[in-house]
Amino acid sequence: MGDKMGIVFEMAGKEIYIHDSVVNSWVIVILLSIFAIYVGNKAKKAKPNEKPKGILNIIEIVVEGIQSLVSSTMGPDKMKFAPYILTLAMYLAVANLFGLLGFTPPTSDYNVTLALAIITFVLTQYYGLKSKGLKGYVKGYFEPVFLLFPLNLLGELANPVSLSFRLFGNILSGVIIMGLLYSALGLVAPLITPVFHAYFDIFSGLIQTFIFMMLTMVFISMAMDD
């Protein structure tokens, strides 16, 4: 919880400050992009009638898993969301596991989680508007009774707030508890903290990734259906 973490540099006589979470996000995005380009090149060269081997095999399992998850949660007619869901899953999983390497996970910053939740919120509203039409979309706010409009509006606005708070609260509480443990235990910390790393970083991080994905899918398909 320091006040200036990250990169500070001077440009044109002004001090420009880039927060730690932005820097870590860049690192994650660049690493994932390099990985994606590498795997994409391999997939282009692979022969379609041969068994995939090595990293392609693992990637194929992951992609098939995401596709079956999307088709079972959102319905087979919404398969076009699978690339977005996989992108979200890759970024969130790596970001949540970033604490294991000794960095601060970018998702422990509220700005990052709020940005992700706003992307989901905009997607939800856009596809709700697109699939229901303007009339059906506006009518959805006045159901079942006209008087419930403020409640419906609040309920719609509470979605991104609760979505971002859930991820932020879980990851930040893990970071705070790990920090307290390291400062309290001192020299014996390496003996005891692996258990807590396994829970707070790996288990909690992956569960929160899954929940964010699932809730994104459920929100979008709920806005598009009925």
Tell whether residue 93 is a contact of other proteins (CB under 8 A): no
When binding is defined by CB under 8 A, the residue of 176, 177, 185, 198 that contacts other proteins is 176
Give, as one character, the DSSP assignment of residue 48: T
Q: Which of 139, 214, 222, 225 binds other proteins (CB under 8 A)?
A: 214
Token pair listed for 75: 């319905």
Cβ density class 84-106: b for 16+ within 10 Å, e for less:
bbbebbbbbbbbbbbbeeeebbb
Least distance in angstroms from the C-beta of 169 to other proteins: 4
Q: Does position 172 bind other proteins by CB under 8 A?
A: yes
Instruction: Determine, following the binding rule CB under 8 A, whether residue 215 of this chain makes contact with other proteins.
Output: yes
Q: Centre a 10 Å sphere on the Cβ of residue 213 and count the other Cβ atoms it contains.
A: 22
Q: Is cis: bond before 144, omega within 30 of 0?
A: yes
Of 44-52, 116-124, 136-144, 208-216, which segment contacts other proteins by CB under 8 A?
208-216
Q: Is 19 in the site for other proteins (CB under 8 A)?
A: no
> First vs last Cα of the chain: how many Å apart?
45
d(CA 14, CA 105) in angstroms, rounded, equals: 28
Least gap, CB of 61 to other proteins (angstroms): 16
Which residues would be at the binding site for other proteins (CB under 8 A)?
A: 1, 73, 162, 165-166, 168-170, 172-173, 176, 207, 210-211, 214-215, 218
